[in-house]
A and B are shown apart, each in its own frame.
Chain A
Amino acid sequence: MLKYLLEKEFKQIMRNKFIPRMIIAMPLFMMLIMPWAANQEVTNIRLTVVDNDRSITSDELVRKVVSSGYFIFQSVSDGSEEALRDVDAGKADIILDIPNGFEKDLQTERISGVMISSNSVNGTKGILGSSYLATIVNDFASSLSEDMMMVQPVLSNQNGKSFRIMPQYKFNPHLDYKVFMVPAIMVMLLTMITGFLPAFNIVGEKEAGTIEQINVTPTSRMQFILAKLIPYWCIGLIVFTLCMLLAVFVYSLIPVGSLLTIYIFAVVYIVAVSGMGLVVSNYSDTMQQAMFVMFFFIMIFLLMSGLLTPVASMPDWAQYITIFNPLKYFISVMRMVYLKGSGFAELVPHFLSLCGFAVVFNVWAILGYRKRN
C-alpha cells in the first residue's frame, strides 16, 4: 500500500513547478553565496593616527602599527578633534592617539601611555581592533626595553621576570569564518527541505480537500505520513551529500571526523525536524498559517542555535531556552565533526538529545493527526 502512496508523492514532487527547481537552486545559493555574505569576520579596520609628540620613538611606533598589516592606514590627523570627526563620518574605525611628551616620559620615567579609541558600534570589531592595537603597542614597548637594556646594560642586572605568551588557534588556524559557517549552512538547508516542505505539502492536501478522500480509505496514518516524509528524507540526504561535495570543491573543506558519524546524526536530525514540521502542519489549516508559524519558529531557532553567535555568550535564561532547540545540537555536532574531528563517543549527549526530539515530535505528530474529529 505504501508503494502506491510513495509513487504518487514522487510523481507530484517531480511535476511541481517550484520544488525541483528549488531543490537544485537552494543548495547552490546557500553553499556558494551565503558563506561569503554571512561572514562576521572583522577585516578592514581603518586606522587614523594622531601624533602629538612627533618624536623618533612615536614615529617608530606609528611605523610598527602601520606595517603590522592588520589595519588599513587611513591618515595622520592633526588633532584628536579631527580624528574623532573622521570616525563620526565613517572614514575611520580606530584612532591611535600619541600624547605630547611620549618619548620624553619613556626616557625619563620609563612609562608612558597612548590612547586607543575604537568605534564600537559593532562591539566585536571594537574589541578586536583595540585589543590588537594594544598588543602591538605592548610588543613595541618590550622591544623598546630590549633596545634600551642594550644601551644601558647596568639596568638589566635585575632581571625583569617575564615569560612569553604564545597564542595558537586550533582547528581553524587561519581563522577563516567561512569554514565556521559552511557546516551550519548545511544544517539550515536540511531543516528547510525535510522540515518545511513536507509540512507545507500536508497542509496543501488539507486545503485541496484531497486529504478527506484519503481519510475514508483504510490507509493508516502511519502509512500516509511516511509516504509524505520518505521522499523528502531522500531528497534531503541527496542534497546534504551534494553540499558536502560542494564544500570539498569550493572551500576545500573535508570533515576531520568520520562521515559515518555525520550521516548517523543527519538521519536522526531529519527524523526530528520532519516530526516538527508535521506538528506544525497538524495545527495549520492553510499554507499561509503554516508558513507564518514556521517562519516564526525557525527564526527563533536559528537565532538561538549558535549559528551566528555562541550559545555560551548568551545570558543564562537564553541558554536554558536553547536546550529545547534541535538545531543547536546538530549545528554544533556538524562543526565539531567537521572541524575538530570529534568522534561519536564525544557526541553521545548530543545524540541522546536529538533522539529525544525525534521521539517527542513524532509521537506528538502522530497523536495529533486526526483522521476523525
Chain B
Amino acid sequence: MKQFITFVRKEFLHIFRDSRTMLILLGMPMVQMLLFGFAITTEVRNTKVAVFDPSQSMETRAIKERFDASEYFTIAEEIRDVSRINDVFKYGEIGLVMVFSDDFESELHQGGDAAVQLITDGTEPNQASMITGYASNILAQSMQELSEGSGAPCRIIPEIRMLYNPQAESAYNFVPGVMGMILMLICAMMTSIAIVREKENGTTEILLVSPMKPIYIILSKVTPYFTLSMVNLVTILLLSVYVLGVPVAGSLSLLLLVSVIFIFLALSLGLLISNVVNTQVAAMLVSGMGLMMPVMLLSGLIFPVESMPLPLQCLSAIVPARWYVDAIRKIMIQGAEIQFVLKEIGILLFVTVALVALSLKTFKNRLN
C-alpha cells in the first residue's frame, strides 16, 4: 500500500510539473463551458428587419413601432424600391423583410385584402422558423389591438409554458453535453496519451520489472486522472450553477453517481487505447477521431439524435457519451428521479464493466 501511494504521488508530480498540460486540463473545460454557455445560443435577438411600406399609414407605423420595441427585432431599413426586396438579403445583415400590401390602410378599413408578407432568410432554417413565429405573434397582437371594440371574432388564447427551461436558454441544452465531452476528453484522451508517453520513453518497462503488481501500476496511473476529472466535474457544476445560471433540478448525488460511472468508463477506454497503440500521435489521433468526433456529432451534445436518419441513430446508440448526456439532461435539467434513468445507468454500467475487462485483458497480453 505504501508503495502504491508513492507511485500515485509520482504520477501526480508528472502532471503538475507539466504546466502546459495542466493548463489544458483545467483551462479547457472552463473555456468550453463559457463558450457554450454564453456564446453559443440559438436565441433570436435583435434581428434586423427591412420594411417595404408603400402606404406609410398610421396603422403600419404602429406595427413597425411594435416590432422595434420587441427584443427580437430592430427595424434597420425602409425599402423604397421594390426591386431591392430581393437584393437586401445578399449583404447578409437583414434577417427579415416585412412587405405591406399596396393599400394596406384602406384595404384594412374597407374589409379588403390587406396582407403582410414576412420574408425570412431561410438559409438557417431554425432561425427562419423562429423569426417567422415571433413576427407572426407580434402581428397577431397588432391585429387584436386594431379590432378591439369592434365585434370581436372568436379568440383562443394559448398560454405557453416552457417546461424545465422557462427562458428557453441554450445553455440548459448544452451544459450536460459539454460535461460529457470534457470528461471524455480529459479521462480518455489525456490518460491514453500520458500512458503511451511512458511507453515511448520506455519507463513503463522499468515499472513492470519492479515488484509492484501490474494492477497497482495501472491504478496508480489512473488515480491522478480520476482526481482531476472529479475536480473538473465540480468546476463545471459550479460554473453551470453560479455563472451560467443553470440549476441542478434533480438529485445531486444521483448526478454524481452517474458521472463517476461515466468517468470510470472513460478511464478504461483511455487505458484500452493506450494498450493498443504505441505512439502519442497515434493515441491522439485514435482518441481525437475515434472519441471526440462521435461525441461531438452523435451524442446529442449539439445535434438532436432524433433528427438523424436511422442508421446514424443506431450508430449513436453505441456512443457511451450519448447515454451519459441523456441521463444528465434528465437528472440535471428535468429533475428526473432515478427510475427514469435506469436504462441509461444500466447501459453505462454494462459498457464500463466490458471496457474494464477488455483493457485488463489487453494489458496482460502486452505483458506476455
Contacts and interface: CB of A to CB of B under 8 A. Distances in A.
A81 to B, nearest CB: 14
A216 interface: no
Given A40-B302, A114-B159, A175-B125, A315 B154 contact: no
Range for the number of chain A residues in contact with chain B: 35 or more
B89 A340 contact: yes
Contact of A342 (B31, B90, B133): B90
B158 A339 contact: no
Nearest to B311: A36
Nearest to A105: B156
Contacts of A89: 340
B284 interface: yes
B203 interface: no
A165 to B, nearest CB: 5
A343 B90 contact: yes
Nearest to A98: B156
A209 to B, nearest CB: 17
Contact of A312 (B47, B108, B123): B47
Given A166-B116, A167-B136, A87 B163 contact: yes
Contact of B150 (A160, A163, A170): A160
B312 interface: yes
Contact of B309 (A36, A162, A295): A36
B116 A164 contact: yes
B6 interface: no
Interface in B53-72: none
Interface string A115-148: 1111111111111101111110110111011101
B36 A303 contact: yes
A158 interface: yes
A172 interface: yes
Contact of B122 (A106, A114, A116, A170): A170
Contact of A90 (B44, B150, B155, B330): B330
A312 to B, nearest CB: 7
A147 to B, nearest CB: 9
A123 B309 contact: no
A260 interface: no
A298 to B, nearest CB: 11
A315 B125 contact: no
B168 A127 contact: yes
Nearest to B129: A128
Given A110-B153, A313-B41, A122 B147 contact: no
Interface in A282-333: 287-289, 291-292, 295-296, 299-300, 303-304, 308-310, 312-315, 318, 321, 332
B318 interface: no
A367 interface: no
B155 A110 contact: yes
A162 B163 contact: no
Given A113-B157, A170-B121, A172-B122, A90 B340 contact: yes
Interface string A62-96: 00000000000000000000001001111000000
Nearest to A99: B159
A106 to B, nearest CB: 6
Given A120-B168, A121-B334, A168 B118 contact: yes
Contacts of A122: 173, 304
Contact of B127 (A106, A176, A310): A310
A312 B123 CA distance: 14
Nearest to A72: B306
A165 B90 contact: no
A113 B159 contact: yes
Contacts of B193: 288
Interface stretch (B137-145, B209-217, B232-240, B352-360): B137-145
Nearest to A156: B151
B90, B115, B156: which has the most chain A beta carbons within 10 Å?
Answer: B156
Nearest to B292: A295
B126 interface: yes
B40 interface: yes
B129 to A, nearest CB: 5
B146 interface: yes
Nearest to B48: A312
A300 to B, nearest CB: 7
Contact of A169 (B122, B164, B169, B284): B122
B280 interface: yes
A294 B122 CA distance: 33
Contacts of A308: 40, 302
Contacts of B152: 110-111, 160
A125 B300 CA distance: 13
Given A44-B306, A130-B162, A291-B284, A111 B155 contact: yes
Given A134-B137, A180-B124, 15 more contacts: A40-B302, A123-B168, A124-B126, A160-B150, A165-B136, A168-B118, A292-B20, A309-B170, A310-B124, A312-B47, A313-B43, A318-B39, A340-B92, A340-B123, A342-B90
Interface of A: 33-34, 36-44, 61, 84, 87-90, 106, 110-128, 130-135, 137-138, 140-142, 144-146, 148-149, 155-173, 175-177, 179-180, 287-289, 291-292, 295-296, 299-300, 303-304, 308-310, 312-315, 318, 321, 332, 335-336, 339-343, 346
**Considering the complex of A and B, which 7 residue pairs feature the smallest CB-CB distances, nearest first?**
A145-B153, A169-B122, A131-B133, A123-B168, A172-B122, A175-B125, A163-B114
Interface of B: 20, 24, 28, 31-32, 35-36, 38-48, 89-92, 95, 101, 104, 107-109, 111, 113-130, 132-134, 136-137, 139-140, 143, 146-147, 150-170, 172-173, 193, 280-281, 284, 288, 297-298, 302-304, 306-309, 312, 329-330, 333-334, 336, 340
